[in-house]
């Protein structure tokens, strides 16, 4: 099973098998949509669609083209989005396809590296398959934006392959070699070192934690194999250091500093150092355990403002012991010049920057951070298998040995788990339902689940999630605003509207340009019969977003209800020009003009409305009012009769206006009113 039947095949067949396996696990992600950060970074990012954006990405930060600022500089990732959209279309399938193919390519590069390290085909195949199907890869493959972990892995693997150099081992069926005792051989020429440095620079341009690769280059140079010449071992280090210098120069030239951390996304960022370190240590233990035993990752703790400071628990102690033990093992292996030290060091080195142990980062939970460490873990696994498990001999008619069946069973089980794990990225609701189960005290998860339900037309269901989010952390203006909307859609009683108004106002800050809660507040105030307050909120919304249609509708309605008809008519005129098909705007526009006694303008507006809405009696009635005020009795009576023929409600409208007072003794008018 696994690579065992392929050991007599041509050299390229195992690589094709690994690629197919990696793609097969995640092929269902092609049916997924844009989820979470995909919306900002891809769907609504107009910068990607601009000419030469793939090149101009090197002059901007990662979130350029979105409302968010950042200290991240990842131009190759941004360029990949731009090229992806141009080549495969701007729908989600093309972006997911790129991620699947990139993961398959990374799996092949890992197999190539394992072979260049002169491991057996069996050990190399098992390790490469573990990488292809490990559930830690599910997030970076399933999430489009998590390509930010796939791409640096691609360049790190290129750099590592360039550094190690080509293998002299034979085809799959050739006799296997024992690995050398010390570190792997390195490139002994400037061209090889430059290839290593160039690929390393590509990795840095994708993600900052790629810097861990420089660490293993230095480790290999400081404790090299005894056969290495001093002049050769430092060449890759010099090239990589030059690449790091170029990277920092590019960051500096673009004015990119350390990123600002949103404490609602990562509440650890607002904790003092001891508390943050304690919490991050426990979470790190969970992450590291997941690499070895990929059962569903979860964290039941709360870290927001309502939670007590993290304390030293048994889990914290065990996580600390695990981390220190791993560091000690890596150090001992390195000192002994055992080449297991380098991949183990890379796994730790690429994990630590994303662990919140060194500095707070932009996310609290993100399994995609494990993709780079997974490279090191699988390299270690391949080396251990090579040393411990004798490569099975293969010949015609040989039975597949038990060890191959065991390895194959593990790969199948992991593949099924990875395919299932990836499904949480199917859509917005799937993602945040999974998050609320795994991280039940994470306010962000509950808030986004509430938003997903609200956007899906399930406002009543969203209220519970939004309330839970605010109970954990009430500082999110987006969640406050969303709860206001949910209550507005589900409650019509005064108590419900007052609560909705309170949440909308909690989302409004004096120096904020967050306009939606102001629009919703003005709408609620109109429903509560407080047009003066509604006007104030609507005017502020219009100041922030002058072309926002909903804000101007509320402003016009508030003015109308306060009988500020001249101002209301001006606002309604603007709205009619923007949306002439909206009858609820045309009607108050005509009525406002009537109240200002601008009969010519009212006549023109009513005539146009009758042409646009010929089946509505209301505009016949409005034009009849204009004719009555103008002294055109016959025309007014004709229009009233036409209005009555279309809608019996005309009789009720007549009783509410005084325009037809001179007609009350007219027999025809009395008939219209239904009197004898």
Q: How far is CA 336 from CA 131, 177, 219, 232, in A?
A: 27, 21, 12, 20
Q: What is the mean pLDDT of residues 183-196?
A: 72
Q: In this structure, are residues 288 and 326 in contact, taking their beta carbons and an 8 Å threshold?
A: yes
Q: Is the pLDDT of residue 337 over 70?
A: yes
Using 50, 70 and 90 to split pLDDT, how confident is the model at 408?
confident
Residue 551 structure tokens: 């804000």
What gap in Å lies between CA 575 and CA 555, rounded to an integer?
11
Residue 226 confidence (pLDDT): 57
> What is the helix (H) or strand (E) element at residue 572, kind and residue range?
helix 565-578
Using 50, 70 and 90 to split pLDDT, how confident is the model at 497?
very high
Residue 45 confidence (pLDDT): 93
Q: In this structure, are residues 187 and 162 in contact, taking their beta carbons and an 8 Å threshold?
A: yes
Residue 231 confidence (pLDDT): 59
Q: Is the pLDDT of residue 504 over 80?
A: yes
**Of 540, 602, 541, 609, residue with least CA distance to 580:** 609
What is the Rg, in whole angstroms, of the alpha carbon atoms belonging to the chain? 34
Residue 173 confidence (pLDDT): 46
Q: What is the mean pLDDT of residues 156-185?
A: 65
pLDDT tens-digit readout, 432-442: 999 999 999 99
Say whether 383 sits in a helix, a strand or coil. helix
What gap in Å lies between CA 215 and CA 237, rounded to an integer?
9
Q: What is the mean pLDDT of residues 492-519?
A: 90
Residue 321 confidence (pLDDT): 95
pLDDT mean across residues, the chain: 89
Residue 541 structure tokens: 């919304």
Helix/strand/coil (H/E/C) assignment for every residue in 182-251: CCCCCCCCHHHHHHHHHHHHHHHCCCHHHHHHHHHHHHHHHCCCCCCCHHHHCHHHHHHHHHHHHHHHHH
Per the listing, tokens 């597949």 go with 400
What DSSP designation does 313 have? -
Residue 184 confidence (pLDDT): 55
What gap in Å lies between CA 202 and CA 329, rounded to an integer?
30
Q: Is the pLDDT of residue 674 over 50?
A: yes
Sorted by sequence, the CB contacts under 8 Å of residue 373 that are 6+ apart come out as 136, 291, 346, 347, 348, 350, 351
What DSSP designation does 579 have? -
Residue 432 confidence (pLDDT): 96
Sorted by sequence, the CB contacts under 8 Å of residue 4 that are 6+ apart come out as 122, 392, 394, 400, 401, 404
pLDDT tens-digit readout, 7-37: 555 577 899 999 999 999 999 999 999 999 9
pLDDT tens-digit readout, 590-606: 999 999 989 999 999 99
Using 50, 70 and 90 to split pLDDT, how confident is the model at 230?
low
Residue 527 confidence (pLDDT): 95
The lowest-confidence range among 230-239, 268-277, 315-324, 426-435 is 230-239
Residue 585 structure tokens: 């705007």
Residue 264 confidence (pLDDT): 87
Q: Which long-range contacts (CB under 8 A, 24 or more apart) does 34-37 make?
A: 34/92, 34/95, 34/144, 35/143, 35/144, 35/425, 35/426, 35/427, 35/428, 35/431, 36/143, 36/145, 36/428, 36/431, 36/448, 37/143, 37/145
pTM for the predicted model, two decimal places = 0.87
> What is the helix (H) or strand (E) element at residue 453, kind and residue range?
helix 443-455
The phi, psi pair for 287, rounded to 5°, reads -65, -50
Residue 192 confidence (pLDDT): 83
What DSSP designation does 36 have? T
- Burial code (b: 16+ CB inside 10 Å, e: under 16) for 502-527 equals ebbbbbbeeeeeebbbbbbbbbbbbe
pLDDT tens-digit readout, 100-115: 999 999 999 999 999 9
Determine how many CB atoms are found less than 10 A away from the CB of residue 37.
16
- Burial code (b: 16+ CB inside 10 Å, e: under 16) for 323-345 equals beebeeebeebbeeebbbbbbbb
What gap in Å lies between CA 317 and CA 144, rounded to an integer?
36
The lowest-confidence range among 174-188, 224-238, 464-478 is 174-188
Residue with the bigger pLDDT between 176 and 99: it is 99
Share of the chain above pLDDT 90, in %: 69
Residue 148 structure tokens: 């930010």
Residue 582 structure tokens: 């909206």
Q: How far is CA 587 from CA 583, 595, 635, 641, 650, in A?
A: 6, 13, 21, 20, 15
Q: Is the pLDDT of residue 404 over 90?
A: no
- C-alpha atoms less than 13 angstroms from C-alpha of 637 in its C-beta half-sphere: 15
Q: Is the pLDDT of residue 423 over 90?
A: yes
Using 50, 70 and 90 to split pLDDT, how confident is the model at 168?
very low
Q: Is the pLDDT of residue 350 over 90?
A: yes
pLDDT tens-digit readout, 621-640: 999 999 999 889 888 888 98
160 burial (CB, 10 Å; 0-12 / 13-18 / 19+) is buried
Q: What is the mean pLDDT of residues 371-376?
A: 96
Sorted by sequence, the CB contacts under 8 Å of residue 248 that are 6+ apart come out as none
């Amino acid at each position: 099973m696994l690579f065992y039947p392929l050991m007599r095949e041509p050299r390229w067949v195992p690589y094709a098998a690994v690629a197919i396996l990696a793609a097969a696990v995640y092929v269902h992600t092609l049916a997924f949509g844009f989820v979470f950060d995909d919306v900002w970074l891809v769907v609504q990012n107009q910068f990607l669609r601009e000419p030469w954006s793939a090149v101009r990405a090197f002059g901007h930060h990662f979130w350029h083209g979105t409302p968010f600022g950042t200290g991240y500089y990842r131009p190759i990732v941004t360029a990949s989005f731009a090229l992806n959209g141009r080549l495969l279309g701007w729908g989600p399938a093309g972006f997911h396809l790129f991620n699947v193919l990139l993961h398959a390519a990374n799996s092949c590069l890992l197999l190539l590296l394992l072979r260049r390290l002169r491991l057996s085909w069996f050990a190399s195949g098992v390790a490469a398959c573990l990488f292809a199907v490990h559930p830690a890869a599910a997030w970076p493959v399933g999430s489009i934006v998590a390509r930010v972990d796939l791409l640096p892995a691609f360049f790190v693997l290129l750099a590592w392959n360039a550094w190690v150099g080509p293998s002299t081992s034979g085809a799959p069926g050739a006799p296997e070699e024992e690995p050398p005792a010390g570190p792997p051989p390195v490139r002994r020429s400037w061209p090889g070192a430059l290839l290593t440095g160039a690929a390393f620079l590509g990795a840095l341009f994708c993600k900052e934690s790629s810097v861990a690769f420089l660490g293993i280059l230095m480790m290999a140079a400081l404790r090299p194999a005894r056969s290495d010449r001093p002049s050769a071992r430092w060449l890759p280090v010099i090239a990589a250091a030059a690449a790091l210098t170029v990277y920092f120069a590019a960051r500096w030239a673009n004015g990119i500093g350390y990123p600002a951390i949103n404490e609602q996304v990562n509440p650890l960022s607002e904790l003092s150092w001891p508390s943050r370190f304690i919490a991050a240590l426990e979470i790190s233990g969970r992450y590291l355990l997941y690499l070895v035993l990929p059962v569903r990752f979860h964290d039941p703790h709360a870290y927001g403002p309502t939670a007590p400071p993290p304390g030293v628990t048994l889990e914290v102690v065990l996580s600390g012991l695990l981390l220190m033990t791993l560091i000690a093992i890596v150090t001992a292996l390195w000192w002994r010049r055992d080449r297991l030290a380098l991949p183990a060091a890379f796994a730790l080195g690429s994990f630590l920057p994303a662990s919140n142990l060194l500095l707070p980062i932009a996310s609290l939970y993100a399994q995609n951070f494990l993709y780079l460490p997974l490279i090191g873990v699988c390299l270690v696994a391949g080396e251990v298998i090579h040393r411990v498990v004798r490569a099975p001999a293969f010949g015609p008619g040989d039975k597949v040995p038990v060890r191959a069946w065991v390895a194959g069973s593990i790969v199948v089980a992991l593949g099924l788990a990875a395919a299932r794990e990836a499904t949480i990225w199917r859509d917005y609701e799937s993602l945040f339902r999974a998050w609320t189960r795994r991280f039940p005290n994470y306010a962000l998860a509950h808030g986004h689940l509430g938003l997903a339900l609200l956007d899906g037309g399930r406002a009543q269901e969203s209220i519970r999630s939004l309330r839970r989010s605010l109970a954990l952390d009430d500082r999110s203006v987006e969640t406050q605003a969303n709860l206001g909307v949910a209550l507005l859609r589900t409650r019509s009683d005064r108590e419900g509207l007052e609560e909705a108004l309170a949440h909308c106002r909690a989302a409004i800050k004096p120096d904020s340009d967050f306009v939606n809660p102001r629009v919703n507040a003005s709408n609620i105030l109109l429903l509560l019969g407080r047009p003066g307050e509604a006007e104030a909120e609507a005017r502020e919304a219009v100041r922030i977003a002058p072309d926002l249609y909903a804000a101007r509708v509320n402003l016009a309605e508030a003015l109308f209800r306060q009988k500020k008809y001249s101002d209301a008519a001006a606002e309604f005129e603007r709205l009619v020009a923007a949306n002439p098909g909206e009858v609820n705007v045309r009607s108050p526009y005509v009525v406002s003009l009537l109240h200002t006694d601008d009969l010519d303008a009212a006549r023109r507006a009513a005539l146009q409305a009758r042409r646009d809405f010929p089946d509505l009696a209301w505009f016949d009635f409005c034009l009849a009012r204009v004719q009555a005020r103008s002294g055109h009795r016959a025309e007014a009576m004709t229009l009233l009769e036409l209005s009555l023929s279309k809608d019996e409600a005309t009789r009720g409208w007549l009783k509410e206006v005084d325009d037809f007072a001179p007609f009350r003794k007219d027999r025809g008018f009395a008939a219209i009113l239904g009197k004898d």
